Amino acid sequence: MSQPVQIKNALISVYYKDNLEPIIQELHRLGVKIYSTGGTETFIRSLGADVIAVEDLTSYPSILGGRVKTLHPKVFGGILARRDFEGDQQQMAQYEIPEIDLVIVDLYPFEETVRSGAGQDDVIEKIDIGGISLIRAAAKNFKDVVIVASKDDYTELDNMLKSQNGSTTIEQRRSFAQKAFNITSHYDTAIFQYFNQDEQLPVFKQSIQKSTVLRYGENPHQKGVFYGDLDAMFTKLNGKELSYNNLVDVDAAVALIDEFTEPTIAILKHTNACGIASRSFIKDAWIDALACDPVSAFGGVIIANAEIDAATAEDMNKLFFEVLIAPAYTDEAVAILKSKKNRIILVRQPVELPVKQFKTLLNGVIEQDKDRVVEGPSQMRSVTTKQPTEQELKDLHFANKVVKHTKSNTIVFAKNSQLMASGVGQTSRVDSLKQAVIKANSFGFDLNGAVMASDAFFPFNDCVELAAEAGITAVLQPGGSVKDQDSIDMANRTGIAMVMTGVRHFKH
């Protein structure tokens, strides 16, 4: 039936009682008969409203320490009965089952219990059985029943009860049912993921409750939505809403900056670093990061791992950029940076990030572990006659962090903890190297004494030869080519040091 349904009987059994009082008072005013259990029943009585214990309806007590309370035909029959189905109505009369028109039930806090670090027994006890069954039953029968499965919907219900004098429309009931099934499916996904932590079942399940509708996707003709809690990740101090492309760049910026502990600033464009430097003071890091490629920095995303002070902000303010991310800002810095109203200024909050990555691919989804490995000097195996100096090892480590977060095929030049140039996303490694040399020369960098990192092995010795001609004195690569020895021999002939890490860092 599609006509309005007047609420006459309600079942209320909730874990969270926040903001429930106004609803109880309104139901009481409307003369709605309320059935309830346990603590909710006690709460309702404390408000002076009449309430009938579910045990009195079923003539059966709560058993097994509360595990079985509402799982009874007199409860589920009242919820699932079809009002326009004669056979259902005959059985309802035969077994004296009251129609239940409103169900307010939430779920035990399973996810919160898991996050608290509770033991398995406590976690298992927070797997709701009766509650989720009641929610599903009421949502299934939305043609006749209103289901409210979250305290977040109490205000909407309260307004509806008051404005419609206890009557509901089919559109409203269907909307509540949609929300209810969202809650139950998310709950079941969380339980499955708890049991499948060892990934014995290769099943892909994700459920993210919060979302932000974006202005558009990668391009204006594409729709875009971010699923996740941006407010937990960032506090926005200024600017417009983050776009799809902003978010992609911000994600790349966060991943890159997390590799560094010393004061560091990185500038990214289309997910690749066009400038990055580590220094003792954050302003010096900014100056040297910008010097790498001030042309590409225009319109980019900037990220820092230390507080932005007024002096740094003053210098930054000379450049047009889209987004700035830092863990903190001085008040003076914020005032300076806010001079551009659309400039997005974000304070990064300490949020645990996922350790898996996935994306749609063909007719399915592909998933992998995040690349959380970066090889430092102790993992670098020298393979040439010449050994890298201590400074070269430090710079190779710096370059290796950058190359890991740059689109393949990639070559990175670095010196004194500063990116000097990179060749990005080329179809051949030697073209990436040539691109990096051109970039370095165009911005006046002297590559003599600089180091080079490659995300993958050299299939031929041409990259090593060209690097030596450009002034590179030390090279890092993972190794693994059948022609590794050719590259080693070329390094020895040209007098440069080479180390291998054994770990490739492709990024597509």
Q: How many angstroms separate the CA atoms of 322 and 240, rounded? A: 10
Which amino acid does the sequence have at 143? K
How many CB atoms within 10 Å of residue 254?
18
Q: Catalytic: 28?
A: no
For 29, list phi and psi in degrees, rounded to 5: -65, -35
Q: Are 177 and 141 in contact (CB under 8 A)?
A: no
Q: How many angstroms separate the CA atoms of 313 and 321, rounded? A: 12
Say which residue the tokens 């997910």 belong to.
271
Q: How many angstroms separate the CA atoms of 219 and 411, rounded? A: 29
Which amino acid does the sequence have at 338? K
Q: Which of 16, 71, 28, 76 is CA-nearest to residue 52? A: 28
Residue 10, SS3 per DSSP: strand
Q: Token pair for residue 372?
A: 């959380």
Q: Which of these is catalytic: 140, 236, 338, 340?
A: 140
Q: Which of 429, 466, 462 is CA-nearest to residue 447? A: 466
Sequence-distant (6+) residues with CB within 8 A of 85 are none
Strands (E) located in 407-490? 411-414, 419-423, 451-454, 474-477
* 102-105 β-sheet, strand order: 52-53, 33-36, 9-13, 102-105, 146-148
Q: Are 74 and 93 in contact (CB under 8 A)?
A: no
Q: Are 266 and 259 in contact (CB under 8 A)?
A: no
Q: Catalytic: 508?
A: no
Q: Are 192 and 202 in contact (CB under 8 A)?
A: no
Q: Are 336 and 315 in contact (CB under 8 A)?
A: no
Q: Which of these is catalytic: 186, 270, 338, 386?
A: 270
Write the DSSP string, 106-135.
----HHHHHHTT--HHHHHHTS-SHHHHHH
The runs of H, that is alpha helices, within 325-415 are 331-337, 390-404
Burial (CB count <10 Å: 0-12, 13-18, 19+), residue 3:
exposed
Catalytic (active-site) positions: 140, 270
